[in-house]
Chain A
């Protein structure tokens, strides 16, 4: 982000909430009752116009009661062994099953087993366990009962909800968690939603999935086919399986169908219909799934929620794509207000990471990696998957931020939704009112247009080789889980930050971190802040706000005021106004709200960019911490201590001597505290690289050592070391792929990145390619260069004029029976060399007055030209 620094506002309300275990934000805001849109669905296939079901349906009630479940992550902790045995519960309907990894599977659209058409099995049924090379275990058994841990909290919330209900009277009341019909629904949950009222009338929801062969549910372990998602008892298979196979497993029917044979599925025993689970219904678009965005109670007492729809691949414009998994859903950007009545029960939509880990968590798990834009019919990866993985608390921040805003006004959000809808309508209706994408008043417009029409296949179905894995691990962008070799510095920083925050004395302080690029300065600070954030969440530290500015991304140094102010308050003002307001806030101690009282940590990257002529920016920024603090300390009352602002500044700059460069009045404010990030030595670099490559067998050990030694000797820049290794892996990969594309048998054991690749990468990175260019340049250029060297030795002067040089060249040419090309051509040759910066020269318009100088040592030229086959006599002059 160029100018909007990342903000991590920590709402104190949240902490409070945690301590008192009140599970929802009690915020009743007046709201004019608005007409509700009927749940909107986008699919053109919809034949029935859905409307909100009004009457309570009894089967649903039953199931909602029954299907109360804990969130999946709780279940994940349960040891798998214990699961198959204990099956006491009637409530839990779904079977356990192992999940496939999101990559890997490629199903060719083999649709679900036709249930009604199943005929008598007259062919010997033998689902063979397919002999796939990489098979994974999957198992289907009874889910263990391990829930009900949250019951008390739910009850509490129910009670609380009732209370607020009375309080709010006729207004809409928003809840975070609601117990409805015995099911506990929280904002952020995923649920099945009835598609039409009579959805449940035709058949009831089966309690347990039944085996496709014996049509009994039973407690025995079942295995799920990756293709048709049908369940099979291990013992019902032919030949029976002892254990759940590793990897993908496809049942015999699908196997046969793939081979093109007619398959007849076992027919259920007479009088028994093959029941369809909710999952079946959802995937055959008889049901919907939605993500709960907010829950509220209308004035008339009915409970509603705003849901974000999920859609199945078949309902998108692209249809089911070959790489789609059976259990894949897309999140849409379509919202609807739905009555709680129409919820059937929970389902669990996970991101690919969780999904890959989820082994046996029931039937109601789905995988969602992409968002589907219903207007533009395009796909986009869900952003929070990456973020959530990289910085575990990003989502927390968001939630915090939102909840603290929610406290102010709930209406705002709703209005915003409305706005959005209106805007969407507008943009589709008339493009005349479209807003420019790149100018923004708080946000950009039209970015939702970007998205792929189809998800490219190479993204999902690509099996990574070891080398590719290594390359991916070495990418700079990838933040490592841990930061090796910077523990001492991080401790120092975190001690400093904590010291400044935790002091009730409100000490504004400066910390000055310096070190060469690529030594992990920013990363360490951010890591420290992350750790602190978790401590804040745990309640051991008071909340603070953190503003992150990068000097190099500011259009001008003065802009920093604006950026800081925007980060703190969210308002965009001119920098002069911002300076004024910040001055008010920091030096005069004027506070507007409670939020302002928090200590503020300002991280300024590339501090040296803020140095202006009179250094007023730096002065102001470094002056603020000293001011309010001295003032408030004089007052020194403990009760005020909470509201004492504490400003903490950290400048990060690559120039070591920044304090010395500054005017004395600034350097005196800068304080003495410095942390130095020295360049990494080779052991550290080696550790950094190996920690990234853990578990990937792609590099020879000496190769890593060689790269790290080389980088340590030159700069100690970790980015360089990583890049060298990545490049080396790339070179190796290139060679292997080229070999295999030429149908040569790839030499075995050559998969490792060795010394030669690393050397090539180092050479590419650090060596200027001038010698190669000199070797391959034209004949006259070579003579020209040789003449320059000759001239240099003759006169001892580095600089020469074109006139003198041309004389030398003509001498050389005549004495070696070479035609002198003429002055003008020679001048052109010189200018060409000057363009490549092999020589330094003045513009060619100076002609004979032009001054020339070699840009590289004359030894390099001699080395390059000595053994040229074209003009062997050139060696004489070198």
Chain B
């Protein structure tokens, strides 16, 4: 086998690792302090002891809340086959009580091979749910409700949560409600009656520490020695990897990258790009791959937008900025045009455009969200008369102008003088 072939295999292996949460979170779940074992203990003890529980998983996005939950659920499904029914809801899809209940009924029907009717009313569905909870409790089956984006369920009258949690106040039912939310104050959103029925177990998911990141990198990137990959290739790969991981520059890249966001998911995204950058010819990861990944992922979209603007668009932006510097807080296209004229008068250049051309450029800027309307009112008004505002800040504009290659002198002059 050529090295390219091997490298491709290795690449596929690593990519598939990155995409499976099981692989990523399994090694972190051994210790007793890990959220995995805590969550598993809570759920499995409520299965064994036949009690009801409600748990909140909190933490910033990308910290692996759902991944750990799924890991626990799949383990429990293996451990207690056909005693667990998992109902998955997402706040973005089912935040409305009616649709949520319908979805619960549908999934319950699916799980137990019952016939589901779309026509059933809210009452029917909620009574069906309660009846099912009871029946499942009697059959020693636990129903686990996994509510993703839990905070979105905590809106309005919260009938769903109330009826769910109230149904759990009976002895016969056996259910676990797991809420997943990135809002730290998710339990404060609950209505007081609902909150009183909630059992307030909270698990906090935090981004991995520096040591954990290091371990994770090793875990993901090093190749197994016993698989179909040639042993010597894997050994060499791992050796090179070790040297990269120990490299100071590599550490800098990683810490630079994780400065903005240190969650696991964020790291995985970076690694994915780095691995995709891997050169198949050489067959090994190199520091360059990571560097390229960093530069391709850390981008400044607004500044790049400015770079892409035409001269006229830049004129308009500069004019708007001049207006704002003069503390003229409300202005529209007409006043921008006046400013444009005055600028052009003081620095006459060859390119002076007619108003309709300027309007086109103005619309373009609006679409690119470099400028925006100050309010949502006045939809009936034509664009020229609606008040606008600059969205990019002065410093960004200045930066953009500086790096603009073919910027006319007057522009840079303009921008510097205010």
Q: Which residues of A contact B (CB under 8 A)?
A: 1-4, 378-383, 386-387, 390, 434-440, 444-447, 449-453, 455-456, 458-459, 462, 468, 471-472, 475-479, 516-518, 550, 552-553, 555, 559, 606, 609, 654, 717, 719-720, 723, 726-727, 730, 733-735, 737-738, 742, 764-765, 768-770, 772-773, 776-781, 803, 806-807, 810, 819, 821-825, 828-829, 832, 835-838, 845-849, 855
Contacts and interface: CB of A to CB of B under 8 A. Distances in A.
Interface in B154-176: 157, 159, 162-163, 166, 168-173
Interface string B380-397: 000000000111110110
B88 interface: no
B183 interface: yes
A832 B124 contact: no
A434 B115 contact: yes
Interface in B80-113: 80, 82-83, 98, 105-106, 108-109, 112-113
Contacts of B261: 778, 780-781, 828-829, 832
B395 A847 contact: no
A439 B119 contact: yes
A837 B199 contact: no
A726 B119 CA distance: 41
Contacts of A828: 260-261
B49 interface: yes
Interface stretch (B284-292, B295-303, B354-362): B295-303
28 contacts: A3-B123, A3-B126, A379-B139, A437-B105, A438-B109, A447-B132, A450-B112, A451-B135, A452-B139, A475-B171, A477-B52, A477-B168, A478-B171, A552-B193, A553-B163, A609-B157, A776-B206, A778-B207, A778-B258, A778-B259, A781-B260, A807-B395, A823-B303, A832-B261, A837-B183, A838-B184, A847-B392, A849-B389
B38 interface: yes
Given A3-B123, A555-B122, A778-B258, A719 B117 contact: no
Given A437-B116, A440-B128, A847-B369, 7 more contacts: A447-B131, A517-B196, A552-B163, A727-B200, A735-B32, A778-B262, A779-B262
Contacts of B83: 452, 456
Nearest to A440: B124
B271 interface: no
Contact of B201 (A447, A727, A846): A727
Contacts of B390: 848
B135 A380 contact: yes
Contact of B184 (A2, A479, A836, A849): A836
Contact of A778 (B105, B197, B260): B260
B61 interface: yes
Contact of B169 (A476, A765, A803, A836): A476
B366 interface: no
Nearest to A847: B391
Interface in B178-194: 182-185, 188, 192-193
Contacts of A472: 49, 51
A447 B131 CA distance: 8
B48 interface: yes
B322 interface: no
B135 A450 contact: yes
A289 B92 CA distance: 54
Nearest to B114: A437
Interface of B: 32, 37-38, 41-42, 45, 47-52, 58-61, 80, 82-83, 98, 105-106, 108-109, 112-117, 119-128, 130-132, 134-141, 157, 159, 162-163, 166, 168-173, 182-185, 188, 192-193, 195-197, 199-202, 204, 206-207, 209, 256, 258-262, 298-303, 369, 372, 389-393, 395-396
A832 B259 contact: no
Pairs A-B, 7 closest by C-beta atoms: A436-B117, A437-B114, A517-B196, A439-B120, A2-B126, A778-B262, A555-B122
Nearest to A371: B138
A791 to B, nearest CB: 15
Contacts of A803: 393
Given A439-B124, A720-B196, A836-B60, A386 B113 contact: no
Given A438-B124, A609-B157, A734 B41 contact: yes
B184 A770 contact: yes
A773 B260 contact: no
A733 B163 contact: no
B391 A452 contact: no
A835 B141 CA distance: 36
B304 to A, nearest CB: 9
Contacts of B166: 550, 552-553
Contacts of A832: 60-61, 261
Given A449-B113, A555-B123, A848 B393 contact: yes
Contacts of A821: 259-260
Contact of B115 (A446, A552, A606): A446
A760 B39 CA distance: 16
Contacts of B188: 768
A845 B371 CA distance: 11
A450 B127 contact: no
A559 B123 contact: yes
B262 A451 contact: no
B71 to A, nearest CB: 18
Given A552-B159, A734-B38, A779 B259 contact: yes
A806 B393 contact: yes
Given A764-B202, A847-B391, A477 B139 contact: no
Nearest to B80: A456
A102 to B, nearest CB: 15
Contacts of A4: 127
A869 B173 CA distance: 49
Question: Which one of B47, B98, B207, B261 has the greatest number of beta carbons of chain A within 10 Å?
Answer: B261
A516 B196 CA distance: 9
A566 to B, nearest CB: 10
Contacts of B123: 2-3, 555, 559
A780 B259 contact: yes
Contacts of B52: 475-477
Contact of A437 (B128, B185, B256, B258): B128
B192 A517 contact: yes
A845 B50 CA distance: 48
A661 to B, nearest CB: 16
B159 to A, nearest CB: 6
B161 to A, nearest CB: 10
Contact of A717 (B138, B185, B196): B196
A855 B301 CA distance: 28
A517 B165 CA distance: 14
A518 B207 contact: no
B395 A823 contact: yes
B301 A468 contact: no
Contacts of B114: 436-438, 445-447, 449
B139 A451 contact: yes
A452 B84 CA distance: 11
B168 A773 contact: no
Contact of B127 (A3, A383, A735, A847): A3
A719 B197 contact: yes
Contacts of B51: 471-472, 475, 477
B357 to A, nearest CB: 26
